[in-house]
Structure 1
Amino acid sequence: MKAPHYNVPVEATLEVIGGKWKVVILCLLKEGEKRFSELQRAMPAITKKMLSQQLKELEKDGVVNRKVYNEVPPKVEYSLSEEGETLREILNMMCAWGDRRMGNTPNCS
């Protein structure tokens, strides 16, 4: 399989984090591990199917870890991977920019 060709580097970034929900998911995960239901409650407009799909894509791209506990009922937690942690500064900057745009004092860490 041939590696993708990008005209500008931001294309490589957008291939991983582009779309309506991925950055929101990553911003929630930068606060710490979250279960599927916690993510869904934090994003009431997303469907279960879309959340599941976005998490699978983020996991496939290596920015999210999925940890399955051997319990009944099954417990699954999601977190930023080591590669995902490299996005923390960018996510904080995006959050701060959004806060300013909304007229809020930046409240991102």
Structure 2
Amino acid sequence: MTSIDVITTNPPFGTQIKDTRKEVLAAYDLGHKIVDGEPTSELLDGQDPDKLFVERDISYLKDATDSSDGGRMVIVLEKDWILITRSGSTGRVVMVTDILLVIH
């Protein structure tokens, strides 16, 4: 995918229902157990749809090269979501993909 220069998005927050469909979880790194920042082959029992949404958006962004910057994403995140992800597996994905979070 990796062909989009800019994404502006607002994920579907608020759902308390985790996605437990194995075929969906298998399609996402965050659908797997994360060990040392890397997804394993072990699927989770379920994952929040908003985390899967963010991972999918990241996958659409253009990769950086030596001669050009990668894609950028402007995203509305709930304050609680950001605090939770700092210690969780999504926080690792955010750090690895060089996303800057701005809270004011």
Pair in the same fold by TM > 0.5: no
What band does the TM-score fall into relative to the shorter chain? 0.3 to 0.5
Select the structure that is richer in helix: 1
Q: Which has the larger radius of gyration?
A: 1
Larger RCO (alpha carbons 8 Å, 6+ apart): 2
- If the length of structure 2 is used for normalisation, what is the TM-score? 0.33
